[in-house]
Amino acid sequence: MSGLSWMDVAGSNDAAQDPNGWPAEEQLLEGLNPAQRKAVVHGGGPLLILAGAGSGKTRVITRRIAWLAARGGVGLDGICAITFTNKAAREMRERVETLLPTRGSWISTFHAMCARILRRDVETLGFEDGTRYTRDFSIYDTADRNSLIKRIVKDLGYDTTRFRPAQVGAWISEQKNLARRGEGEDSLVEGIEHEVLRRVGERYQETLRAANAVDFDDLLLLVLELFDRHPGVRDSYATRFRHVLVDEYQDTNHVQYLLTRHLASAHGNLAVCGDPDQSIYAWRGADIRNILDFERDFPGAEVVRLEQNYRSTQAILDAAQAVIRHNSQRKEKELYTEGEAGEPLGLLECGDENEEADQIALRIAKLRSEGFGYGDLAIFYRVNFMQRALERGLRLAGIPYRIAGGVEFYQRKEIKDLVSYLKLIVNPDDDVAFLRVVNVPARGIGDRSLELLSGWAADRRVSLLRAAASSEARSQIRGRAKKGLEAFAGLMENLRDFAGRSASEALEALLEETDYLTWVVQSSEENAETREENIEEFRANAETFDSDDPEGGLRAFLEDIALVSEVDSLGEGEDAEGRVTLMTVHAAKGLEFPVVFLPGLEEELFPHFRAVMDEAGVGLEEERRLMYVGLTRAMKRLFLSWARTRTHFGQSSWREPSRFLRELPQDLAAESEPDEVDLLGAYDDREAGAGLGEGDWVMHEHFGRGQVERLRGSGVNARATVRFPSAGTKTLLLQYAKLTKLGAGS
């Protein structure tokens, strides 16, 4: 993956600075184009920065923060800057810190900011039943949420295959946010199913509160409730933040919109940055109206358009703009580059998804010969089922690849175990953490014993760990389980003192007390080495966190882990630079690659079937924005492909090319047949498959016996189209296919 070509760099050390070490104004504005400068030096009042793809918006935001702190008379702690991933927030903080001789910023994600506010003020917020959260609350990620929901569904006597935890969790999340908007419940869920979901949702929220735990939705909703019910708390933050900046404003939902208004209510200095053409998260609540209606919501707002692109060639920009112009819900802008015009887009029509994957592999081989590395290349797909055929094509060609968004580091079993232990040290009421680790390593505590313990705890409204520490509760349990619970309660009591210590100190104590590392090595022979390496990496992460934030401690470390998103982990995998990246188009937002492939450009696939069926056209506009995002990730080269037939759920169907292809100007794309010279390079057909001829019978290790129908290419790109009676027609790279020629008459 390529680094940002316009990466912000602090000015020269020789640049003029004032005696206090603050950078001079010319240093803060160095290298900015006129539109970027205008956005940076905007004085006060509402500001809308319409930032086209690749226009250097992160640079503008960080320079604006630095300019306000150094030249605008605002202390860094008086500026609140909000973005959507920890990775983006971390990069923003690092850039600001290279420009300013001070720290102490409020640069974070919405969720991290709200967690910080709740750590300070959540105890102000009591509830009707007399309960209240404490500052040691746990944050449940999606896996924790689903684990809790699964337990609740079972406890209520319902079928977890019918009421799947992930789907129930999504419904609960939706209802929380609909309620905050003042909208009714989902009318599509009715009857007994609705009643079950309602009961599970109520029990889920009750259990969360009893466990002193919040989920991602609660982080934002509780702060909103805090601000609504306690205006004094809201005013303390609104007065403190003289300037509020929000990045990726097109991705905000209604709750985030309300939070933003609260934070900017005292001074009115709100600057938002975003691009309506890149609003692709409506399915998770993002409301494009927030950015489209900004000038109506904040009268007198200044609008600055960042239209100079520093990423892509003009050919790529023209193609993207030709597509997005067909949308009506947008604000007009015209992207341009002072860089190269670039090559036309490559278009490829294929017979089916397997041929499409093979042709992408062939093009990758050609790009390698042109000097591109595997890490420069990415393949984006609209839906996950496309991944299988693409992987097959890359494997057959011997091309190394990685799947972005696979099993995330913090979701690996051994890491999840250790995190649950650490959570329990800080918050003894966290029942989800308790249930995960009470028998890890094994302590002979079975399901029946846990049922008895849970019943005792529920009757007395105490947590499972507090129940385990009670001799009265343990008296109902016999044998090894009783001793195991007593030992576990004693272990957690010994570790409780580390709640206020550093992350690395707590982790080392945990590993020593539980002997967890030895247990992992002994209980997982097949992948013991990998799991041990993961634990060592986790140790290193804790040490790094302590070094970066000496005052943070274990609580802050756990909060940081809980708020890591999928996007934050992209690009950090092992040997990422030496592999082709495969990911969904949604996951690609915010990234860039020298070369991008977009396969599967077919009606009802991209655009998706649901969008095509949407009579209002709202879904289709979102699909077109998604296409725009995919196109604008490419820096140098862009290849688009589609198949005449595609198999899904075992059914093969004829496909129609995507309407997005028809929206491309003809002069921007070069269409080619799979085996045409202009797509695959100049090959001498006579050299293809030395020793093989069309009509020959061959044997393949996976597909079995087949007959050669066509030979093309030479050298590393030599390929054969072979008809296999048991597997259909395949196009194979001869360098990797390992075909064995069979004798005559075979």
Per-residue pLDDT of 86-114, as tens digits, reads 888 988 998 998 888 777 789 999 999 99
Measured distance CA(141)–CA(561) in Å, rounded: 9
51 is in an annotated binding site: yes
Ranges under pLDDT 50 in the chain: 1-16, 19, 187-188, 566-567, 571-574, 673-688, 716
| pLDDT for 675 | 42
Please state the pTM of the whole predicted model.
0.79
58 is in an annotated binding site: yes
731 is in an annotated binding site: no
CA atoms within 13 Å, Cβ hemisphere of 612: 12
- Segments in 156-241 forming alpha helices (H): 165-181, 191-210, 216-229, 231-240
56 is in an annotated binding site: yes
Q: Where are the domains of the chain?
A: 25-118+222-308, 138-211, 321-408+572-671, 409-555, 696-741
| pLDDT for 11 | 36
112 is in an annotated binding site: no
Measured distance CA(76)–CA(103) in Å, rounded: 7
Q: Which of 3.10.105.10, 3.40.605.10, 3.40.50.300, 3.30.390.50 is the CATH number of 321-408+572-671?
A: 3.40.50.300
The CATH class of the 138-211 domain is mainly alpha
| pLDDT for 571 | 46
Could you tell me which CATH number the domain at 409-555 has?
1.10.486.10
| pLDDT for 676 | 36
Same CATH fold, 409-555 and 321-408+572-671?
no
Length, in residues, of the chain: 746
55 is in an annotated binding site: yes
Query: For residue 600, which of 363, 401, 357 has the smallest C-alpha distance?
Result: 357
| pLDDT for 544 | 84
- What contacts 36, CB < 8 A, 6 or more positions away? 56, 59, 60, 63, 306
398 is in an annotated binding site: no
Residues serving a catalytic function are 57-58, 247-248, 278, 633
pLDDT digits (tens, 9 = 90+) for 727-740: 777 777 676 566 88
Order of strands, sheet of 243-246, starting from the edge strand that comes earlier in the sequence: 106-109, 79-83, 243-246, 270-274, 47-51, 302-306
Give yes or no for a contact between 647 and 353, defined as CB atoms under 8 angstroms apart.
Answer: yes
| pLDDT for 6 | 29
The CATH class of the 25-118+222-308 domain is alpha beta
CA atoms within 13 Å, Cβ hemisphere of 562: 28
Token pair recorded at residue 630 = 């995919």
- What contacts 191, CB < 8 A, 6 or more positions away? none
